[in-house]
Chains A and B, each alone.
Chain A
Amino acid sequence: MELNAAIPSGPIEKRWDNHRFEMKLVNPANKRKLSVIVVGSGLAGASASATMAELGYDVRCFCYHDSPRRAHSIAAQGGINAAKNYQNDGDSVFRLFYDTVKGGDFRARESNVYRLAQISVSIIDQCVAQGVPFAREYGGMLANRSFGGAQVSRTFYARGQTGQQLLLGAYQALARQIELGGVKMFPRHEMLDVILVDGRCRGIVTRDMVDGTVRSYTADAVVLATGGYSNAFYLSTNAKACNVSAAWRAHRRGAGFANPCYTQIHPTCIPQSGDYQSKLTLMSESLRNDGRIWVPKKADDNRPAAQIPEGDRDYYLERIYPSFGNLSPRDIASRRAKEVVDEGRGVGPLKNGVYLDFADAIGRLGAPAIGERYGNLFDMYERITGESPYEMPMRIYPAPHYTMGGLWVDYNLMTTIPGLFAIGEANFSDHGANRLGASALMQGLADGYFVIPYTIGNYLARGGLDPVAEDHADCKGVEQQVNDRIQRLLTASGKRTADSFHRELGRIIWDKCGMARNKAGLEEALQKIPALREEFWENVRVPGVGADLNQELERAGRVADFLEQGELMCRDALDRDESCGGHFREEHQTGEGEAARDDERFSHASVWEWTGENQAQRKNVEELTFEYVQPSQRSYK
């Protein structure tokens, strides 16, 4: 597999401008004749579809939701970063670039990150012009807040619903193009494979989720904007339907999958309450501004929180990180919580949480002031747990949240399959081994509004794309394989539900490839997952028929892919014999228990190549070079 990142030459601040100038342009009259398929209508997919249609391309957009407005992006809460420096607090494109490269623990490609920081500024302008109601100050100017990993205030937000408002902005731009005829929208269509003709990606095979029709759609290029794979863990903060299938199907056809072991575990989520639990709910990171995190000093202390005297409490983050305390970065806060829970000091009925206590803040500022700041979060917590954080401490625990790994892409966001592009959370590009808060929304919209519309033109302008009919032999061949797989699922007639396999897989990955990983555990997972996969194909039960709205069938197909991709996550984690960002190998820590990178051996992206069913995947390497930010050890003491 050839990995040419296609990074433009010249000084970093000129690369994107120069590249745009050098890119081939498509004659406006020809654009209508060029067709693009976009899979996904989240922030990345909706913004890309709308913008490419504005430019004149013939766009078809697919999503598995009933409406493009429901994509998982809708759930983002906190905000979106941009180097606007409206606060005059010393922010700049370079600082955002620097923070992102450092936050990613020096495992991202500098040129892409710099471009992201440059574009961030235009995103906010674009969204405001669309009518996104960002929070404002009394003077009518846009308000900002600060987020983890940054010392400036550069996060734009719309109450706790930033993702919703940004997605509705992109959805509305998409709706406008649908009305104008520039985009044809296919909701309730699940992409189940990609079609390659002469080595280039020329289309997709989808299943109509209402009547079950399996068919091909062909185009001159395909863009995957299909989101991340946190649901490999089964329990995560992602929406229930989020899955890896689109990316995985492309991977099986030749798209390299980069850094699958880079996953982000968010420290403040509501702990699991029972086996029936279907997902985990994020509690905004902002709570750590006023809440103090603690557990009892002794294991198995069953007293209610209020009866545990100060002397018997361990405010472990304040103890270990006196300067950052409760505000230490996500990966560190998560790992320390796991440690104390593993020691038997967890709290709550299942002993699977730590306290986030507002008693001091309430004592100091009064309940109304705290309610003013966090009232809606407290209500949300109480709705789910039945406990009031005004009266007793919240219980929190880390949960899978975001995946930095994904399809490998070059500077143009093209995968290793010519003509197949990946944008948004689905690609691996900008966050290295750890993503900073409020940077995913920024990346999704940068890719969709400002990068792919131009880089795809450069690809299309090179031509050589003869039309491919939808009954082309290559389309029919893929359709046949898709149909066979559906039949296999429907006829397995075993005893277990797809979800029961998914839960078991999630347990293995969470235990062995979660917040802390080690060689023995990963090797164990690599034994267990293939065995589970084998059982799945023999013992899964999918009722109903293919030619119908069949949610069990949808689910089973996605679980089948997680059973393959989850194994690759573990293999990558085993191979990456160092710690970096969210990937913490217990064998590699500093004397103080922090992640110890090994830049000599691992300053690269690991790009995995599919070699066949039940075969070990081949690892390819993109070396990372740092010209502008010198790798250093992160310290938060």
Chain B
Amino acid sequence: MNLTLHVWRQAGPNDKGRFEKYEARDISEHASFLEMLDILNEELVEKGQEPIAFEHDCREGICGSCGMVINGVPHSKQKAITSCQLHMRSFKDGDEIWIEPFRATAFPVLKDLVVDRSAFDRIIQKGGYVSVRTGNAVDANATPIPKTDADAAFDAATCIGCGACVAACPNASAMLFTSAKVSHLGLLPQGQPERYKRVEAMVAQMDQEGFGSCTNHGACQNACPKSISIEYIARMNRDLMKAKLLGSKDD
């Protein structure tokens, strides 16, 4: 199939950026979306032009590197997939496709479709862990964990940190990302001792990074490639309230 692409090109953080038009020719319906971009990029290189910079690594929906807005939707209109999991059979000959970076104040564009998502790392650094040193652990079966709790914690922990939630949110809020980690740890016995301190510190960092506030749009949940539920946001808000009441004292 042949396609017309409008791709966001931006030389660096200080460049204004613009859409450029490209033709992708003879693309197999079995190719993945990123393979389609590879083909285009190789053509550009052969012509001595700079290829389109985009991030990717695992190409199977787990590393969270790839992230672009495809026809106005983070990771495309298809539900519960990452950009790398999109295949060309979802398009038809002659389609026009608009490709842009994830946009948010807290995610500055570095080049073309590549954005800086290090704000997510800094949120985790404020408390997205259990403070246990290597070698301190008791036997793994010493604390039984009900299967339902373990499963719910897993569902939250499945977040790949891609940032689609932020890109989808009209306020560019990072509540889904932050609440997923807060809930993952908050649902497990190991996460209890630091539960309230954690939520306060992570939310404070989130605000400091310039992410917007949550107004219950739910766009994040729809864009999430792992279908993480906004119920975790509600859960985090409850913990935050309780933390405020407790005056940040744990226990």
Binding site for B on A (CB under 8 A): 47, 50-51, 54, 65-70, 72, 74-75, 84, 86, 122, 124-131, 133-142, 158-159, 161, 164-165, 168, 171-173, 175-176, 178-179, 185, 187, 210, 239-241, 273-274, 276-279, 281, 380, 383-386, 449-450, 453, 495-497, 499-500, 541-544, 548-549, 551-552
Contacts and interface: CB of A to CB of B under 8 A. Distances in A.
Interface of B: 12, 28-32, 34-36, 38-39, 42, 44-46, 48-51, 53, 55-60, 62-65, 81, 85, 87, 89, 110-111, 114, 116-118, 120-121, 124-126, 128-141, 143-147, 150-151, 153-154, 157-158, 160-161, 184-185, 188, 190-191
A155 to B, nearest CB: 14
B85 A383 contact: yes
Contacts, number: 213
Nearest to B133: A54
Given A136-B145, A139-B144, A128 B137 contact: yes
Given A72-B58, A383-B81, A549-B53, A140 B145 contact: yes
A179 B49 CA distance: 41
Contacts of B151: 133, 136
B117 A67 contact: yes
A585 to B, nearest CB: 33
A131 B191 contact: yes
Contacts of A541: 45-46, 48
Contact of B137 (A129, A133, A136, A273): A129
A208 to B, nearest CB: 12
Contacts of A168: 157
22 contacts: A65-B65, A66-B117, A72-B63, A86-B141, A126-B135, A129-B136, A131-B190, A131-B191, A133-B188, A135-B150, A136-B145, A140-B146, A142-B141, A172-B124, A172-B130, A176-B131, A179-B126, A450-B134, A495-B46, A544-B50, A549-B114, A551-B53
Contacts of A140: 144-147, 150
B117 A386 contact: no
Contacts of A130: 129-130, 132, 190
Given A168-B157, A179-B125, A277-B35, A142 B30 contact: no
Given A66-B118, A161-B62, A175 B137 contact: no
Nearest to B130: A131
B154 A159 contact: yes
Contact of A178 (B29, B58, B125): B125
A135 B151 CA distance: 8
A93 to B, nearest CB: 15
A172 B129 contact: yes
Q: Which 8 A-B pairs have the closest CB atoms?
A: A140-B144, A172-B129, A129-B137, A125-B137, A133-B154, A128-B140, A51-B134, A239-B57
B134 A173 contact: yes
B158 A164 contact: yes
B130 A67 contact: no
B198 to A, nearest CB: 11
Nearest to A54: B133
Contacts of B32: 278, 384
B129 A276 contact: no
Contact of B138 (A47, A125, A164): A125
Given A140-B144, A176-B129, A385-B30, A165 B59 contact: no
B59 A279 contact: yes
